[in-house]
Amino acid sequence: MATTLALTSRKELMHKAGWKIDQNEEACYIDIDADGDSDRDDDDNRVPSHWCNLPDLILEEIFTYLTPRERYYAGLACKQWYRAFYLPAVWNNFLVDDRTLTRQKYNYYSGWQYCLDHMRTQHCLARIGRHLRGLEFRPEVSFNNIYQFMTMLSWSMGKGMETNSSSDLKGMGQRIRSLTYIFPCNMSQANDPEGIKLFGTGGQMLKGLKDLLSKLRYLRVLRLVDFVLENYEAKHLLDEVLDACCTTMKVLNIVNVTTHHCPIMHVGLFINLQILTIAPQNIDDDVLSLLADTRLKHLHLLQNCYTASYLTINHCSVRAWRILKRDNPRLKIHLRLESLSDGELVIQPEAPVYSITYSAPKSMILPDALIRMIDNYHNTLAIYGYEMLPRYCSPKAFHNRIDSLMLLICRQCFNLHTLLIREKISTSTVLLLARTARNLRHLHVRRFAVVLRCDWPRHPEWSDEFYAWLRRCSRSYEAVECEVSQILGENWHFLSDQEYKELTVDVQAIY
């Protein structure tokens, strides 16, 4: 009898415990408190939740923030969430990094490494492969995992295109409309005194990517960033893409395909291309002549921290830009610099430049460069400014500041409607900018960089009333904000450093 009671008590204890898989995929034993039985009466009185009745739009938005592993476990909660697992918007973007669908494997030389789990990957592709709409590859260290994933996906898509393909592979990857591949070309260590060390992709990685691109027949958005290829590889990078997506491609982003001058002629052969982002060393007069016959609306010339110095990059000729403006008058050129170090943009003479933006904390406004920009783009420039907070000290003296340069660009560029100022200026300059720029709609100024003073010398054309108004309103931030709000016709205020840090400008927006 005692033995029976002991076995019964052990069974009860076993029912009150269990095994659970933690975040590191390790099993841990969990005991359930014995006093949980006393709460059963309270559980019976609880009202059931209605999380399962959320609309599909909200469920799609929630599932997009989850990793594939988290989506799988969320789909096990109820039938509605299991159905939400296969909603189209949930798989708009599938991120593949070093640890996606991997397992730990011990290596004698390198220790524990994350290796691609082929069984899990094949099972995952069989279940969600036909629902994928976007792919994003972000390798960091383990390029082999990315290569094996691309190889398996290409093989599955090839088998799915066959006539007698299995039901699991049928339609594999046919809904993919966008692909992003950002290559980590900087292989330097954090404590490396030499800084950036560039190593491009190529070989089997490039072959596997091109094989995958050849099977994406309905691709609309393609982003290949920082590949840093050799010239002979770069010239054939888009062969498969052009053959498969000549008429469907809408957005193409190929930044730093090479570090040296190497025109990519393929970009001018996509008939319906609307947005092109490319580094200035990968275009020339022949590329512009091809782009003139397309439906391109926005051409972004982007320079980042891996782009060669602007002193080593040759600009396109004035004749080529004039032909482009004649054949494609709706095209807008956007110049942008993204770098953590000091740098300057490549000036394209007489190009229809619509926006000039900097995302470089160490880049200062140079008078010579700004005057050249005004001379070349005063008829078309609409957006100008510096994003991010500066990492240098702005001078306080009036003759060393940028006040006169900002007023010059507002006077000469009559189409200017967005201006971002992060360097030190005075309150009187803010008032003059708002009064001078006729089409100015968005003026973003850091309050921390604004000096309370009227240090402008009196201009002969200023009346006594205007000069008195300028001196009176420059004495306080509140008065400046009130006057600028009346001039712009909206509630305007200075931006704090946190607000300015989060500020981004949509250069493609229609104003």
- The percentage of residues in the chain with a pLDDT greater than 90, rounded to a whole number, is 51
- Residue 190 within any structural domain of the chain: yes
Q: Which tokens sit at 397?
A: 């003296």
pLDDT of residue 166: 84
For the chain, what is the radius of gyration of the CA atoms?
Answer: 30
- Residue 416 within any structural domain of the chain: yes
pLDDT of 357-410, one tens digit each?
A: 999 999 999 999 999 999 999 999 999 999 999 998 888 888 999 999 999 999
CB atoms within 10 A of CB 277: 19
- Residue 78 within any structural domain of the chain: no
- Residue 367 within any structural domain of the chain: yes
- Residue 104 within any structural domain of the chain: no
Q: Which tokens sit at 221?
A: 């958005």
Strands 27-31 and 17-21: antiparallel
- 308: domain CATH number is 3.80.10.10
Q: List the domain range (segments joined by +) for residue 250.
A: 147-160+168-502
Q: Which pLDDT band holds residue 203 (cuts at 50, 70, 90)?
A: confident
Contact 210, 222 (CB under 8 A): no
pLDDT, the chain, mean? 86
- Residue 433 within any structural domain of the chain: yes
pLDDT of 405-439, one tens digit each?
A: 999 999 999 999 999 999 999 999 999 999 999 89
Q: Which tokens sit at 204?
A: 């089997």
Beta bridge partners of 136: 95, 180
The count of structural domains within the chain is: 1
Mean pLDDT of the 314-334 span = 94
Read off φ and ψ for residue 446, nearest 5 degrees.
-75, 125
Contact 259, 230 (CB under 8 A): no
Contact 347, 329 (CB under 8 A): no
Residue corresponding to tokens 């966008």: 178
Within 341-461, strands assigned E span 353-359, 383-386, 418-421, 425-426, 442-445, 450-451
Reduce the DSSP state of residue 292 to 3 states and report it.
Answer: coil
- Residue 176 within any structural domain of the chain: yes
Write the DSSP assignment of 92-131 as a string of letters: S-EEE-TTTTEEEEEETTTEEEEEE-HHHHHHHHHHHGGG
For residue 456, CA distances in Å to 177, 192, 407, 467 come to 55, 47, 11, 10
Beta bridge partners of 180: 136, 223
Strands 450-451 and 425-426: parallel
CB atoms within 10 A of CB 270: 25
Contact 231, 187 (CB under 8 A): no
Residue 59 has pLDDT above 50, yes or no: yes
Residue 267 has pLDDT above 80, yes or no: yes
pLDDT of 290-306, one tens digit each?
A: 999 999 999 999 999 88
Reduce the DSSP state of residue 146 to 3 states and report it.
Answer: helix
- pTM for the model stands at 0.84
pLDDT of 142-181, one tens digit each?
A: 788 899 999 999 999 998 888 888 888 888 888 999 999 9
Which helix or strand (DSSP H or E) is residue 334 part of? Answer: strand 332-338
Tell me how far apart the alpha carbons of residues 299 and 276 are, in angstroms, rounded to a whole number.
5
Strands 442-445 and 94-96: unpaired
Residue 283 has pLDDT above 60, yes or no: yes
Q: Which tokens sit at 277?
A: 């982002």
Cα angle at 227 between 225 and 228, to 5 degrees?
125
- Residue 82 within any structural domain of the chain: no
